[in-house]
Structure 1
Amino acid sequence: MIHEIASLPVRADRIEAFQHAFSEVVHLLARAKVYEGHRLLQGVETPSQFTLIVQWRTLEDHTEGFEPGEDHRAFMEGLQAHFAGEPVVQHARSVGP
């Protein structure tokens, strides 16, 4: 399993609007056939910093399956107005027991 970890800097005056917008577009992520779950986390010390962790079966399921598609475009388009900067994405895999 691969974890997509996206750091999402949200404008401080748009936090509630971002959360609402996310609830409106999350179905686009969840309906991807290779999607295995997600968590949206809000920073405690920095409430305008969100982290989205999405579980995919493989890296290619995300980068070649979901990212090039229309659902990804619409997902990002629905959130873009709330960002204070560019999201940063990395991928990780579980290790150990």
Structure 2
Amino acid sequence: MILELADIRIHPGQQEQFDAAIQRGLAEVISQAKGFSGFKVNKGIESPERYILMIFWETLENHTVDFRESPAFLQWRSIVGPFFAAPPTVEHFSLLTKSS
């Protein structure tokens, strides 16, 4: 299992519209991708224009190749991209340990 962590900053005052857009993009595009295993989205409290998107993939290549090199990636970016104040910072992580 691979965790994709995206640190997203949007333009001020667009939180309500972005909330709807990211949920739509996750439901209509990301959730249909090969190797998709789930997601979480957290909204900033102190920084209301900041979002942390966590997407779980079966393999790294499911994100970096299967999704990022597919037409679905362009569809995803057309839904959420207009809200970005800057390109998201994206990193991948493997699980070390977790609680029960």
TM-score, with normalisation over the residues of structure 2? 0.91
Which runs of structure 2 are paired with 1:4-83 in the superposition (5 Å)?
4-26=4-26, 27-83=28-84
For 1:83, the aligned partner's letter is F
**Deviations 1:2-30, CA, capped at 9 Å, x for gaps:** 00000110111111111111122212000
Equivalent pairs: percent with the same residue? 27
Aligned equivalent of 2:93: 92
Q: Take 1:7 and 1:23, find their aligned partners in 2: how far apart are those partners?
A: 16
> How far is 1:96 from its partner?
2.9
- What amino acid does structure 2 have at the position aligned with 1:30? S
- The alignment yields a C-alpha RMSD, in angstroms, of 1.1
| Length, aligned pairs only | 97
TM-score in terms of structure 1 length: 0.93
Q: Output the amino acid matched with 2:17.
A: A
